Amino acid sequence: MLGVLAGFLTTVGFLPQIIKGYRTKRMEDVSLLMPLVLGSGMLLWLLYGISLGNLPIVLWNAIAFSLNMVVVGLKVRYGKDRPALP
């Protein structure tokens, strides 16, 4: 149960950044390197979880990796010097 709760909390931590980036169409202050490095770690954790057959590790890292890629996509789309939409 502890692993499920920990995975949930660390995974939903991405949602405020995703929601803010989507609403404001601004991601200039977000580093591209951070989610790329973090995503690499998540992918390795996902593979590790698969090798162990550990559902909480697989589930939460798959979801977190997907949300992290959304952050990368928002950064690529809105991270350049583009004016924010009202």
Q: Is residue 45 included in any domain, yes or no?
A: yes
Which domain does 43 fall in, by range?
A: 30-79
Predicted model pTM? 0.81
35: exposed, middle or buried (Cβ count in 10 Å: 0-12, 13-18, 19+): buried
Q: Is residue 61 included in any domain, yes or no?
A: yes
Does residue 23 have a pLDDT over 90? yes
Q: In the predicted model, what is the mean pLDDT of residues 61-74?
A: 94
CB 12, CB 66: distance < 8 Å: no
| Cα–Cα distance, 67 to 72 (Å, whole number) | 9
Q: Is residue 50 included in any domain, yes or no?
A: yes
Q: How many domains, in total, are found in the chain?
A: 1
39: part of which helix (H) or strand (E)? helix 33-52
Q: Is residue 56 included in any domain, yes or no?
A: yes
Q: Is residue 43 included in any domain, yes or no?
A: yes
Q: Is residue 6 included in any domain, yes or no?
A: no
* The predicted structure's pLDDT at residue 79: 84
